[in-house]
Amino acid sequence: MEKSIKTIEELGGRIFFTSTACMSVWADALSWANKYQERIAKEPAEADHIVILSCQVTDLAVLNDFRTLDKYRRQYPDKKYFISGCLAKRMDIPVPAGAERLELPRADYQPIEDRTLIRFEPPFWVHDFDSEDKEFEQGHLFRNMYPLRIGKGCPFNCTYCTIRFTRGKFAKYDVYARLEKEFLEHEDVLLIADSPMPDQIKEWCRLAIKHNKHISIRNIEPKIAVLCRDDLLNLARKKLLKVFHAPIQSDNEAVLKDMARDVEATFATMDLCRRLKVLGVFIATNIIIDYKDFPNDFTEVYKLYDYVSWNPLWDRQWDRKKAEERYAYYLENGNEVNNAKFFNKFTEVTVHGQKETAPSYQTVPEEPGVEKS
Ligand code: SF4
């Protein structure tokens, strides 16, 4: 079993990157790709190495990583293959023979001028994904926004979360003079961090107001969101908060307790989201479905949120055969069950979200003395 992990400096030649991961991983690699553009091959045929930027959040995601690897290998059997991103850090999951692990490359404070340097694979949980669809359609959220990296990793040690292993040491990027310039030079900015901290959120609310320019924020843990409640509401009142994403995982108190999550903060965050939504913010969350033997009722979550991403609980024991079965259940054969249970509700709420609550941005009248982007 391959246990070591290479660094990008050890690779010569040109590299083709493709991502099956989330925006945090994609944006990290994009920062490196923008700094070293001469090392990038936009087409796999032109590359010496092919790197899959991977996710390991569930076995479905791992299976998708490996299926993507298989797809490229079938087409380009003579290339050298690497698994990078989060799965590369899961030493308990063997990478397929012939592929190697690669530390995720990144270049701090590097603006991302060219997002086409790294391919973004279609989200595996969306059937018939069409890249031309609207930005709030399933699988599209955040995909076309400008990823402004403000941090990586997480300082907390929640037992159920693997971010502290897979995303490396927690770091906050807080040379604001550089980030502010990047913010002003790009449109539709999404702040990228695995777990943004209160001081960062507060500062970005201030900067968005200073420049009268909207932002979107993702991955705000409930216990952090409640500490920034007034700042976020203030930003929303000024129509400068476009999308707000805070993963609640569940709205069932017993489940939250079993997950050792902060129950009070979760409900307070849902309340905050209710208020943000009234102010025209598009609100998004994540849930974990099929959590042990607890009831699987997310009716209220789907009623409230404009966009819900779900993951089935996974015991973190990698077993490809089981993963194939679960993939079929959740995403293929299981569609009839799941359509009724999750997807229809999602669609209704999303359509409602688009029609009723999607705000228009940059409509706040310019105030005297406000610097315009
Ligand atoms: S940070 Fe989480 S969601 Fe993003 S690629 Fe890693 S495991 Fe997947």
pLDDT in tens, 195-247: 999 999 999 999 999 999 999 999 999 999 999 999 999 999 999 999 999 99
Q: Could you give the C-alpha distances from 302 to 261, 263, 298, 327, in angstroms and in order?
A: 20, 19, 6, 23
Q: What pLDDT score was predicted for residue 3?
A: 65
CA of 287 to the centre of ligand 1 (A): 15
Residue 257 falls in which region: left (phi positive, over 0), alpha (psi -120 to 50) or beta:
alpha
86 CA from centroid of ligand 1 (Å):
6
Rounded CA-CA distance 39/62 in Å is: 27
- Give pLDDT < 50 ranges for the chain: 335-373
The confidence score (pLDDT) of residue 333 equals 65
Position 109 scores a pLDDT of 95
What's this model's pTM, rounded to 2 decimal places? Answer: 0.88
- How far, in Å, is the centroid of ligand 1 from the Cα of 338? 23
Ligand 1 pocket residue status of 167, Cβ below 6 Å: yes
The dihedral through the CA atoms of 139, 143, 148, 151 has a sign that is positive
Can you tell me the distance from the alpha carbon of 99 to that of 50, in angstroms, rounded to the nearest whole number? 10
Tell me if 22 CB under 6 Å of ligand 1.
Answer: yes
Q: DSSP string covering 316-373, please? A: S---HHHHHHHHIIIIITTHHHHIIIIIHHHHHHHHHIIIIIPPPSS-SPPPTTPPP-
What class, spelled out in words, does domain 124-357 have in CATH?
Answer: alpha beta
What is the distance in A from the centroid of ligand 1 to the CA of 53?
Answer: 10
User: Which of 25, 54, 152 to probe ligand 1 with, by most ligand atoms within 8 A of CB?
Assistant: 25
In the prediction, which pLDDT does 279 show?
98
Distance (Å, whole) CA 69 – CA 63: 10
Residue spans of alpha helices (H) in the chain: 23-35, 59-75, 163-166, 176-185, 198-211, 222-225, 229-237, 253-258, 263-278, 299-304, 320-327, 335-338, 344-352
Nearest CA residue ID for atom 2, ligand 1? 57
* Most distant pair of Cα atoms in the chain: their distance: 64
- So where are the chain's domains? 5-102, 124-357
Question: Is ligand 1 within 6 A of the CB of residue 86?
Answer: yes
Query: For residue 203, what is the DSSP state?
Result: H
Q: Dihedrals φ, ψ of 232, to 5°?
A: -70, -40
DSSP helix/strand/coil, 151: strand
Which atom, in ligand 1's list, is nearest to the CA of 25? 5
CA separation for the pair 318, 63 (Å, rounded): 9
Distance 364 CA to ligand 1 centre (A): 35
What pLDDT, on a 0 to 100 scale, did the predictor assign at position 273?
Answer: 98
- Residue 111 CA to residue 173 CA, distance in Å, equals 13
